Chain A
């Protein structure tokens, strides 16, 4: 991927990620999150992870965000009114985040191996999904079954949580 395209998608991802945090209206936040996830999917594709990019769009930008929007509209949330701000907490938050970014840039740009070019890859005629599927079903089959069970448990849990009266 050309560097210009890369920086455009990174800027899109970070700008709309920031809008998620800064917007007062929850619906606008959720829609910004969708755009941020779409840019992130483009970055996955730029790293030759086509399957993960498609899953990102289908599961995150599709299913999860529809769920978020559905709940926001179901609860009929208005734009948040300004309340008193806990000043020490906000200052502490900013200090932690700025220190985090400082440490991150030090670590990243002190890591010489990361400044090399990405090695070329040759996936052959099978493509990305075939390789992911082989690893997933051969090496991680037990983990896949466990995750399936986890989703079943989550489904039952949600049904029980949303019953109106618990006996």
Chain B
């Protein structure tokens, strides 16, 4: 039997993987992909709770609408972020975070 806790645990593990990616990798594009993994982990737990909270025989659709908004905003974020990465690459010829230290104090 698959329970809500299994979904939450899977979602937490996915979040941990994304978090590890952000902390350990030094390539901006990989860091960006790890961010997407973390967003999707949050989405999975939202859908799990939406399915768990059944009222009148229907799942809680507020959670699914929130996931819809998260996906939309994430898509907008990806386009802007990748444009910034392309602009940075044009200026510095690198995607390595340690070479992008213009703002470093």
Chain A interface residues (CB < 8 Å from chain B): 1, 3, 6, 10, 13-14, 17-18, 20-21, 26, 29-30, 33, 36-37, 40, 43-44, 46-49, 51-52, 55-56, 59-60, 63-64, 67-68, 71-72, 74-75, 77, 80, 83, 89-90, 92-94, 96-97, 100-101, 104-105, 108-109, 111, 113-123, 131-132, 134-136, 139-140, 143, 147, 150-151, 154-155, 157-158, 161-162
Contacts of A94 in B (CB 8 A): 20
Interface string of B33-73 (1 = CB under 8 A from A): 11011001001100110111010011101101101110111
Contacts of A47 in B (CB 8 A): 7, 47-48, 50-51
Bound form: Cα–Cα A147–B72 in Å: 8
Q: Is the interface of B mostly helix, strand, loop or mixed?
A: helix
Q: Are B83 and A20 in contact (CB under 8 A)?
A: no
> Pick the contact of A26 from B1, B15, B30, B75 — CB < 8 Å?
B30
Contacts of B47 in A (CB 8 A): 43-44, 47, 49, 52
Q: Are A116 and B3 in contact (CB under 8 A)?
A: yes
Closest to A37 in B: B40
Q: Are A71 and B86 in contact (CB under 8 A)?
A: yes
Q: Is the interface of A mostly helix, strand, loop or mixed?
A: helix
Contacts of B24 in A (CB 8 A): 21, 90, 93
A115-B3, A117-B3 known; 17 other A-B pairs, CB under 8 Å?
A14-B13, A26-B30, A33-B33, A43-B44, A47-B50, A47-B51, A77-B95, A80-B26, A83-B96, A115-B4, A118-B4, A118-B54, A119-B54, A123-B57, A140-B65, A154-B77, A162-B86
Q: Is B79 an interface residue (CB 8 A)?
A: yes
Q: Are A21 and B87 in contact (CB under 8 A)?
A: no
A15 to chain B, nearest CB (A): 10
Q: Are B33 and A68 in contact (CB under 8 A)?
A: yes
Known contacts A18-B17, A37-B40, A161-B87; decide if A3 and B1 are in contact (CB<8 Å): yes
Enumerate the 10 nearest inter-chain pairs by beta-carbon distance, A residue then B residue, closest first.
A93-B23, A114-B5, A21-B21, A154-B76, A104-B12, A114-B4, A122-B57, A119-B54, A161-B83, A135-B61
